[in-house]
Amino acid sequence: MEHMEHTRAAEEMRNARRRGQSRRHIQKGEVIYASEARQMAKRKEDMAVEKAGRDLCRAWSAQKQVDTAQHKPFFDEIQEKAVTG
């Protein structure tokens, strides 16, 4: 049987399978086509980009709050001088 793997007919069959639409079995036993897998990967990447954008906005907001908290005593002091001055 091992010698059959190396015959031309077996090689042609393997090539024919490769030329066909690429399919993979997923954990549930379903068949997934390569085009569907690409769409799923793109969707996952898009979701990761959106999440990174949200995380970046949160970081900017937190940094702004820290900056405001650091400068607040100075603003309060200037405001008191303006009122009493």
Domain interval for residue 6: 2-84
73, 62 Cβ separation under 8 angstroms: no
Secondary structure of residue 32 in the 3-state scheme: strand
Amino acid (1-letter code) at residue 44: K
In the prediction, which pLDDT does 21 show?
56
Whose CA is closest to 70, among 79, 62, 80, 58? Answer: 62
| The overall pTM is greater than 0.95 | no
- What digits encode the pLDDT tens for the residues 8-37? 777 777 777 777 656 665 556 677 788 888
Structure tokens at 71: 């400068």
| Predicted confidence (pLDDT) at residue 48 exceeds the cutoff of 80 | yes
Looking at the structure of the chain, the number of domains it has is 1
For residues 29 and 34, give the distance between their C-alpha atoms in angstroms, rounded to a whole number. Answer: 16
* Count of other CB atoms within 10 angstroms of residue 79: 10
